[in-house]
Structure 1
Amino acid sequence: MTKAVSGFSKLSKEEKIQWIADHHFANPSQGVQIIKQYWNQDADLQKLHDEFIENTLTNFYLPLGVAPNFLINGKNYTIPMAIEESSVVAAAAKAAKFWSNRGGFKTTVLGTEKIGQVHFTFTGETAKLNRFVEQIQPKFYADTETITKNMQKRGGGISAIVLRDKTNELANYFQLHVTFETKDSMGANFINSCLEQLAKTLKEEASVWPDFSETEKDIQIVMSILSNYVPNCVVRAEVSCPVADLKEEKNISQEEFAEKFVRAVQIAEIEPYRAVTHNKGIMNGIDAVVIATGNDFRAIEAGAHAYASRNGRYASLSHAKIENGIFTFWMDIPLALGTVGGLTSLHPLVKISMEMLGKPSAIELMEIIAVAGLAQNFAALRSLTTTGIQQGHMKMHLMNILNQFQATEDEKKTVLAHFQQQTVSHSGVVDYLESIRKTN
């Protein structure tokens, strides 16, 4: 068991690495070598990365790929995707090409409202608290003016401040439920700064409010924090075409494909065990673009899954139907994104990704990312309802298996040729690779 360390954050990077190596690695010198080989050769670039987080040792790389041929609202995009999972980029690109010949993707932003809350306790008459919050509304806005003035110039700011009574669920618990418009900024720091000022104003004004008793004046602030659940910051992405135009798969008619596809979505709408995997596939596409553009994929994930549960049961984020011979596949998803601030202005590859997308606004980025998720879902369901998911996925995974067993270039060529017409499995690849090595 490793002993606790004191003052680790004050050590230099070299000292931190050496401490880790000495206490955690069976071969310390090899561990140090592996860590350092992922440093950037450019010292300034490495320093930039070191300062993103605390106690940095090195860089953990993800591949940055692209999926071209996305036709979105009549405009072509090449979408950057940072992800390690085999077949995700290929599947997105295949779906993009499929729909580029059938009118492309259409998107509609349904709302851009973001949420923050001041959580507090109040012991007293709720009617008095309601009057108090209503009457100090101007003070709330005045006290946050220094924080919101620049955002207001861009058309954003605080939209509304509403008192919510939650005492039926938790004794003495109330909220200031605050809605925001943050334009091209994701807005986390802006929202949290506003909330902390609102909490301060609430407490100070309550302490001198003449209608309150001494007990009522003693409002206790529990916390002030934005919410990553943004059910009114939502974008819709969709595709549609005549069922007759769906023909591209062998051994299945357009009608059968469309019906199986819709039934697969319906299953995810009513069966949570399927819905989780179904939505995970959507997030494969979404997270990859969120990471590539320097946004917070953890917040997006949490918000999306909460949205999938909004009706009391976890369900599919996407939907499909056939009406009057037209196949339609669509999805509504909450996406609180930013194109300014944070890593968007710091990480060099984020800048490249944004440039690749034409330097989009936050609204445009919502549309692009939603489409990536829908494309990924379409590709997965298309495979599941026709050839099966493993055929394409395992062939993409084949190279990972070969690299895991340190196959030479000649061995890779031989194995790849063999599995062109064979079902790929981990054991099958390993067995065939070993048979090649025995004969050589």
Structure 2
Amino acid sequence: MSEKTSRISGFHTWSVEDRIARVADFAGLGEGERTQLAAPSNIGAELGDHMIENFITTIAIPVGVATNLKVDGRDVLVPMATEESSVVAAVGNSARQCYESGGFTTSMSGTEMIAQIQLLDVPDPHRARLVILERQAEIAEICNACDPVLVRLGGGFRGLEVRLVDTPTGTMVVTHIIVDTRDAMGANAVNTMAERLAPDIARWTGGTTLLRILSNLADRRVVRARATWTAEAIGGEKVRDAMVAAYQFADNDPYRAATHNKGIMNGISAVVLATGNDTRAVEAGAHAYAARTGRYRSLTTWEVTAEGHLAGAIELPLAVGLVGGAVKIHPTARALLAILKPGSAEELARVIASVGLAQNFGAMKALATDGIQKGHMSLHAHNIAFAAGAVGEEVGEVARRIIAAKAINEEAAGRALADLRGQ
């Protein structure tokens, strides 16, 4: 048998079946593993092969529906794609506790994206900055000509910024073109405009353009959501004050803030993924925004109202779309969007921000009262029971036993399952 090698010429041109066979041979996979890789999913192999390179299979992520959400007066059911226990339940429970006090109220700064054009080797950067700004009308024409459909839909070029960025190798001149991308996330549109504009900027200034790419710090696409939970609904003033103290900890300590914001993104990324949007772009923008003051802080704020209730708010950039990319071609994403029925990309972003705030409320309340493990591990115990081989009604019973024994691990689940079957 020849030596195994990952150097496979033309792998992308092979059929999906041949790719699976080659990978299985390389890795020494058994028949069960080969069958699993070839198993059908809710997208066909042809679409999967179209979406990414060297496609061999799909990996299913469970999709649940968060209930009880009222956003700007509209009741919504929100699809969430996540593998983590308790995320969907936390959002629904949190939304239920503020439903009677009006649910979530949102606003958004707009649907504008930024593309950056990096200019190097400029002997007079201050003059170059002014030269570029003087060409704004011409730049608008160049950018809008790249996407006339976007312009017809009410989007297109909106403004220009030119920044001088000092680096160890000299001053860079960085041009920001600001584009309203409407119901698209907009990466392809703004990147195309930046590519088209770069040679002109180089010619006007005598410099050398290098990077031409959007920024995922979409701070012109900031969405805000707020809600109020009555002290009575959340368990009294002691719980309220503990939650405010938990927020203060996160806002003043980056070690806590990282986990605090990760919990927020548990909810946000689950909706972003379910709707076929770019989770990595949203996460990058959110974490960069959390550090905009020079230190990493909470994406949410929590305070006590004059009436003694708990008020929470979230503010972060959310670049999501309803057209283009996987949103347009993934049939499950389209079906899940049909459940949510957002009238625009802005409305989708408002719902997603509300989910993030609800998720943060649920996590902080759990931490400030029973601890995060009680609810999370209760759900996790069912996963452990399933992994140990429990089926049907056995899953719930094995989970109950290992929770009672405070031994939520696969070894304990195996013993509990053996005892159960021995009975």
TM-score by length of 1: 0.89
Which runs of structure 2 are paired with 1:99-118 in the superposition (5 Å)? 99-118=98-117
Using the alignment, how far apart are the partners of 2:334 and 2:233 within structure 1? 37
CA-CA distance at 1:237 after TM superposition: 1.1
Which residue number in structure 2 is paired with residue 36 of structure 1?
A: 38
Q: 1:139 to 1:372 in 2, by over 3 A?
A: same
Q: Decide whether the 8 Å contact of 1:236 with 1:370 is kept in 2.
A: yes
How many Å apart are 1:425 and its aligned residue? Answer: 1.9
Give the stretch that moved more between structures: 110-119 or 143-152. Answer: 143-152
Q: Which residue of 1 aligns with 2:129?
A: 130
The 5 Å alignment of 1:361-376 reads 361-376=344-359
Whether 2:22 is the aligned partner of 1:19: answer yes
2: distance between equivalents of 1:145 and 1:368?
30
The one-letter code of the counterpart of 2:284 is A
How far did 1:170 drift? 4.2
Deviations 1:217-246 (A, max 9, x none): 3x2111100000112311111111443x33
CA offset at residue 191 of structure 1? Answer: 0.2
Does structure 2 conserve the Cα–Cα contact (< 8 Å) formed by 1:293 and 1:354? yes
- Answering whether residue 204 of structure 2 is matched by residue 221 of structure 1, we say no
Offset from partner CA, 1:179-236 (integer Å, 9 cap, x none): 1211111111000000011102212444xxxxxxxxxx3x211110000011231111
- Following superposition, the deviation at residue 174 of structure 1 comes to 1.2
Aligned to 2:376: 393
Aligned to 1:318: 300
CA distance in 2, matches of 1:290, 1:79: 11
Partner Cα separation in structure 2 for residue 164 and residue 242 of structure 1: 46
Determine whether 1:360 maps to 2:343: yes
Q: CA deviation digits over 1:69-93, x for unaligned, max 9?
A: 2011111000000111111111111
1-side partners of 2:213 and 2:274: how far apart? 26
Stretches of structure 1 that go unaligned for 5 or more consecutive residues are 207-216, 249-253
> Which of 263, 267, 275 is 2:257 aligned to?
275
The 1:80/1:69 distance shift into structure 2, 3 A limit, reads same
- 135-144 or 343-352, larger mean C-alpha shift: 135-144
Letter in 2 for 1:103: G
Map of 1:7-406 to 2, 5 A cutoff? Answer: 7-27=10-30, 29-39=31-41, 45-167=44-166, 170-206=169-205, 217=206, 219-243=207-231, 245-248=232-235, 254-324=236-306, 325-406=308-389
Q: 1:364 to 1:7 in 2, by over 3 A?
A: same
Once residues 274 and 154 of structure 1 are traced to their aligned partners in structure 2, the CA distance between those partners, rounded to angstroms, is 43
Q: Is the 8 A contact 2:225 2:314 kept in 1?
A: yes
% identical equivalent positions:
36
One-letter code aligned to 1:351: R
Between 6-15 and 161-170, the greater mean CA deviation after superposition: 161-170
3-state SS, counterpart of residue 289 of structure 1: helix
Amino acid at match of 1:406: G
Equivalent pair of 1:161/1:178 in contact (CA under 8 Å) = yes
Instruction: Identify unmatched segments of 5+ residues in structure 2.
Output: none
Q: Secondary structure of 1:235's partner?
A: strand
For residues 327-383 of structure 1, give each alpha carbon's deviation from its aligned partner in whole angstroms, at most 9, with x where no partner exists: 211111110111112122211111111111124301101110001111111111111
- Of structures 1 and 2, the larger Rg is shown by 1
Post-superposition CA distance 1:5-28 (Å, at most 9, x none): 22211222121111111111243x
Question: Cα distance, 1:120 vs. partner?
Answer: 1.4
Measure the CA separation in 1 of the matches of 2:174 and 2:133: 13
| Bigger mean CA offset, 89-98 vs 416-425 | 416-425
Shift of the 73–139 alpha-carbon distance from structure 1 to 2, 3 Å rule, reads closer
Alpha-carbon distance in structure 2 between the residues aligned to 1:287 and 1:179: 25
Do the aligned residues in 1 keep the contact of 2:65 with 2:88 (CA within 8 Å)? yes
Aligned residues: 418
RMSD of aligned residue pairs (Cα, Å)? 2.1
Q: In 2, Cα distance between the equivalents of 1:36 and 1:135?
A: 58
Deviation at 1:247, TM superposition (A): 4.4
The alignment partner of 2:380 has SS state of helix
